[in-house]
Amino acid sequence: MTINLEIIDSSYIYDPIQIEDLKTKELVPKMVTRRRLTRAAKIAIYLASETNFEEGRIVYGNSYAELDSSAKILNSINNKEPISPTIFQNSVNNTAVSYLSMLTKNKHEIMTISSGDNTSLNILKAGAIKALDGDTLLLLVTETLNIEKIEELNNCINFLECGVALKIRVTQENPTMKYKDMKNIENIPLSIIHMLNIAKNVDKKKSNIIEVVL
């Protein structure tokens, strides 16, 4: 079965180490809120803003979750030190998108998928199936791997922070782009690759339709 999705808007960002300008001060004026945000939350908030998505259902995903929070928790346990409650609450896979929902007062359904290298592919599939209900959804994926001593774990990824957002709805129009025609960017986390390739192929002057194969 296939479902065709219209890409209404899109945005992507990546950096070898740390993305510099996420407009966080502008998008999150309250310092008390801003200080609690994880890097993934800041990226999610930025990408949602860039796609002009204000309210509605979101299908979010990541493969490695909140690696910085997990690493700090492991370190605390190892050193027999107390775990920070804030870091613990920021360690779940749905942290970033939860902060986004709080900031935008978005009370709709928000899903988080974590399917390893197939994460963004499964976000597309789940998003397409949910979009059959007729609404516009935001599909969002982030990875934030820029933690202390990451070199002990990482020998294949050159972009430690990255994210993609696609604002989509179901269409009956024919596809204008296909996965097989898309050239992979080398050494980007595979978990974002399907959505990144789509975002990079979007021509904002034309209609952009992708066929999702289920």
Partner 1 sequence: MIHNIKNKVFITDTASLSCAGNNCDELFTNVCEGNSGVKNNDQYSYDSCPAIGKIQSKNSFYNNLIIQCQKILDNSTLENFNNTLLIIGSSVGGMSLTEDSYFKNSDYKDIDTTKHNINYISEVIKKEFNFYDDISFSTACTSSANALGYAYEVLQKGIYENALVIGVDSLCKTTVGGFLSLGVLSSNPCKPFDKNRDGMNVSEAIACLLLETKAIKNSVEICGVGYSSDAYHMTQPHSDGSTKAMKNALQCANILSNQIDYINTHGTGTIANDEAEANSICNIFTHKPYVSSTKSITGHTLGAAGAIEAIISCKIIQNQIIPKNSFLDEIDNKELNLTVKTIKKNVNYVLSNSFAFGGNNCSLVFGKVI
Q: Would you put residue 65 in left (φ > 0), alpha (ψ -120 to 50) or beta?
A: left
Q: What are phi and psi of 65, to 5 degrees?
A: 60, -150
Helices (H), 14-172: 24-27, 31-34, 39-50, 67-78, 85-89, 95-104, 119-131
Which residues inside 119-178 make contact with partner 1, applying CB under 8 A?
119, 122, 125-126, 129-130, 132-134, 149-150, 152-153, 170-172
**60: closest CA among 112, 130, 122?**
112
Site stretch for partner 1 (CB under 8 A), options 10-18, 66-74, 195-203, 204-212: 66-74
Residue of 25, 105, 183, 205 that binds partner 1 (CB under 8 A) = 105
What are the tokens at 70? 């997990």
Closest approach of Cβ 198 to partner 1, in Å?
Answer: 19
Residue of 31, 35, 85, 205 that binds partner 1 (CB under 8 A) = 85
Query: Which stretches of the chain are assigned E, i.e. beta strand?
Result: 2-15, 58-61, 110-113, 137-144, 161-170, 209-213
Contact flags string 174-213 toward partner 1, x per CB under 8 A: ----------------------------------------
Confirm or reject binding of residue 35 to partner 1 (CB under 8 A): no
Are 92 and 66 spatial neighbours (Cβ–Cβ below 8 Å)?
yes
Alpha-carbon distance of 210 to 202, in angstroms, equals: 10
Closest approach of Cβ 15 to partner 1, in Å?
Answer: 20
- 29 or 82, CB closer to partner 1? 82
- 30 or 204, CB closer to partner 1? 30
Contacts with partner 1: how many residues (CB under 8 A)? 60
Alpha-carbon distance of 91 to 113, in angstroms, equals: 15
Closest approach of Cβ 158 to partner 1, in Å?
Answer: 16
Alpha-carbon distance of 104 to 49, in angstroms, equals: 10
Residues of the shown chain interacting with partner 1 in the complex, contacts defined by CB under 8 A: 1, 36, 63-65, 70, 73-74, 76-78, 80, 82-85, 88-95, 97-99, 101-102, 104-116, 118-119, 122, 125-126, 129-130, 132-134, 149-150, 152-153, 170-172, 214
